[in-house]
Amino acid sequence: MPDTAPPPTNPRLPLAGLKVVELGHYIAAPFATRLLADLGAEVVKVEPPEGDPHRDWGDRKDGHAVWFSVHGRNKLSVTADLKSEEGKGRVRALCRRADALVENFRPGTLERIGLGPDALHADNPRLVIARVSGYGQDGPYRDKPAFGAIGEAMGGLRHLTANPGQTELPPPRCGISISDDLAGMYAALSLVSACWGRDTAARRGAPDGKGRILDLDLVSSVFSLMEGMLPEYGLFGKVRKPTGAALPTAAPTNTYPCADGKWLAVAGNSDLIFRRLMTRIGRPDLADDPRMATNAGRCANASDLDEAIAAWTRTLTAREAQDALEAVDVPCSRLYDIRDCVEDPHFRARGMVQQVDDPLIGPILHPGAPFRMDGLEPRDFIRWTGPAVGQHNDYVFGTLLAEEVPR
């Protein structure tokens, strides 16, 4: 594909003007920079000459991984061999003009090749460096390898995804790389926060406004979502057990079988919603039962409630049951697969399913950015699709850096 300048960034995007370098591969760091790029940041993705290994993941069309169309969107792709002095010089030149760097190599890797924080801050003291790894930059496990499954396992999530009493099958993963995505979200949030803190410090007349080093990891990102489990253990020695599709802190909330073999998620969490739900399924007696007057009482008797709701849902298709409950304002939903998402009018109306033109693949569906801001349309967040490997070498190293980088 010819090397051309990208379309201009919409100045109304909130991160327009923020310059970010990505030394990322696979998922966590590239997901963080995708969020930043969707919001308008200039993201220069530095890939090895053969490309990010993620370009080989998933289904392909015309030799290109369709996932990368989304994963690399709104980014500038350049190549650099980090084993060569020229390649390392290119990265240092990019970081000299950047606000931030996002990387997800194993701890110590950048230091070993002369691109650690000390070297980069010597060139650009303002550079915010977000480091994403499996276990973090310190601690006894820092040097162990990790992928997303390890974050789920050690962070406490996989323990909770089992069905109670089921021992013949392993607890399933959630089906996506949730550990990487969470770490990427935290990296994006902390990067923007650090840039804000640096720049506001400079405006206050602080002596330097130096860029911070941010340390994100897969395990901590998952562990941070464990809600009340840590204080429950610390105070009471309680270890929360798997509850399948139920939620131990609220009832009734579960997923129920329907007559067409599909499932319906129902959340009757509040007192008023619970009463409406019980009346609609023909069990006002349960609404009036003193045991069910509070959420704590309903949690203690959740099995009785689940049995009553399931007896009702089994008589209807999932859509019929959903329509009936929505008519009385009870939160519920059929379990959607991706076809359901694409066909649902709400996803379309909110711009969460968009058809875009990918020069490498052709027309392709992209998920919209999950941001809504006045003055911007959903399509404004998708400026171009994932580029070819090194597509922007000439533009970045010629136009943006001019004579700073050896050619």
Q: Which residues are catalytic?
A: 180
Q: Are 221 and 154 in contact (CB under 8 A)?
A: no
Q: Tokens 């023909």 correspond to what residue?
A: 282
Q: In 10 A of CB 124, how many CB atoms?
A: 19
Q: Tokens 């979200």 correspond to what residue?
A: 185
CA distance 170 to 173: 9
Beta strand 64-65 with 128-133 is unpaired
Would the CA dihedral through 147, 149, 153, 156 be positive or negative?
positive
**Residue 60 burial (10 A CB sphere; 0-12, 13-18, 19+):** middle
Could you tell me which residues come within 8 angstroms of residue 308 by beta carbon, excluding any fewer than 6 positions away? 278, 281, 283, 286
CA distance 108 to 266: 47
Instruction: Region of 243 please: left (phi>0), alpha (psi -120 to 50) or beta.
Output: alpha
Instruction: Region of 165 please: left (phi>0), alpha (psi -120 to 50) or beta.
Output: left
Beta strand 75-79 with 100-103 is unpaired
Q: Are 393 and 78 in contact (CB under 8 A)?
A: yes
Beta strand 263-267 with 353-358 is unpaired
- Amino acid symbol at 252: P
DSSP 293: S
